[in-house]
Amino acid sequence: MEVNNLASAGKAYSTCDNGEGLCRGNDKARAAQPSLPAGARLPINRCNLPAVILGSLTFQKHPAPLKLDGVEELNHALFERLDRLTLSHHRAEAFDIYMETAFRLCHLDEAGLSGNKAKGRAKANWRRIVRGWAFDPDGREAAVLKGWVESRFGLTPRHHREPLRDPSSAAYSRYMEMRTQGIYGTNALESQLDLMYAYCQYEFARQAPTQTHLRLFRGVNRLDAFEELEDCSPREAGDRCGAVLLNNINSFSRNRERAGEFGDYILVTNVPVAKVIFHSALLPGVLQGEDEMLVVGGAYEVAWTTF
């Protein structure tokens, strides 16, 4: 896992003199940092920090641990068990077993589900949601993930098949319908996602306790695919740098070359470890093929490259 700055993202970029920015080294005069737009956040969430803070540029540069309300306390038996295990693959097995037993994933009748319900959405679990996202980031499973991020972190989705700017719009209604269909009749699905995130953060703390950031990459075909929070006009041909508002959940890759396979441009940014929901190495077999990471969105300072 790679850390800290974008100095090696491409020769056109370096950190600013204060060590915090992603702009070109000669771009020292920066305007006041834009705040997270009011329409991109909720006034309340289920996290130890409000959305206006965890979704800000300040948090990107100076992150703090994020804790979902009550998750570790209600599942203390799992984390006590993990504390006693030295090897990461043993902890992964313990997590899998705990999820199956706590949510009766292999015995849905014991969770109170029977008949046709057990044959339908009741079988949806955290694994299927993550795999569904990988298959289609605008599908039903993706709508569930975006709704979960909105509920837990207070960041509203900005796009699902089409832009989501107005909660009273037809586009937002279609998103909500898909989200509802994805969560209806499931077995505490959002609580499963809570534990998935908590386990991911636990593993980061065990394996790299001093690590605060990951340098991640995302391939895109259009530079205007994201909402700009400050000027992203080119400094030189092919170079861009600025602050953008990302969707409330996004896919990134740790592999620059692999990210380049998904678009003509590569978005490069430093992602706080606290904002990683899940990654391909956490539990082998869930996400495969592109060293993928699921990341909570908000405001990010980014750089663009074309190589």
List pLDDT tens digits, range 183-205: 987 889 999 999 999 999 999 99
Residue 113 pLDDT level (bands cut at 50, 70, 90): low
- Parallel, antiparallel, or unpaired for β 227-228 and 240-253? antiparallel
> Which H or E run contains 249?
strand 240-253
pLDDT given for residue 4 in this prediction: 39
pLDDT given for residue 40 in this prediction: 96
Residue 145: what residue type? L
**Looking at the predicted structure, is the pLDDT value of residue 118 above 50?**
no
**Ranges 124-138, 149-163, 224-238, most confident:** 149-163
pLDDT given for residue 11 in this prediction: 32
**What average pLDDT does range 198-226 have in this prediction?**
93
Q: Where are the domains of the chain?
A: 38-65+211-305, 71-206
Secondary structure (DSSP) of 99-140: HHHHTTTT-GGGGT--GGGGGTGGG--HHHHHHHHHH-TTSH
Three-state secondary-structure class, residue 74 = helix
- Could you give the percent of the chain with pLDDT greater than 90? 63
**Ranges 17-21, 59-63, 221-225, 251-255, most confident:** 59-63
Of 291, 297, 277, the C-alpha closest to 130 is 277
**What average pLDDT does range 65-88 have in this prediction?**
97
Please tell me the least confidently modeled range out of 26-35, 82-91, 177-186: 26-35
Residue 68 pLDDT level (bands cut at 50, 70, 90): very high
CB 259 within 8 A of CB 218: yes
Residue 122 pLDDT level (bands cut at 50, 70, 90): low
**Looking at the predicted structure, is the pLDDT value of residue 21 above 70?**
no
- Burial class of residue 244 in the structure, from the number of CB atoms within 10 Å of its CB (0-12 exposed, 13-18 middle, 19+ buried): buried
Look at the alpha carbons of 277, 280, 285, 289 in this order and tell me if their dihedral is positive or negative: positive
**Looking at the predicted structure, is the pLDDT value of residue 231 above 80?**
no
**Looking at the predicted structure, is the pLDDT value of residue 79 above 60?**
yes
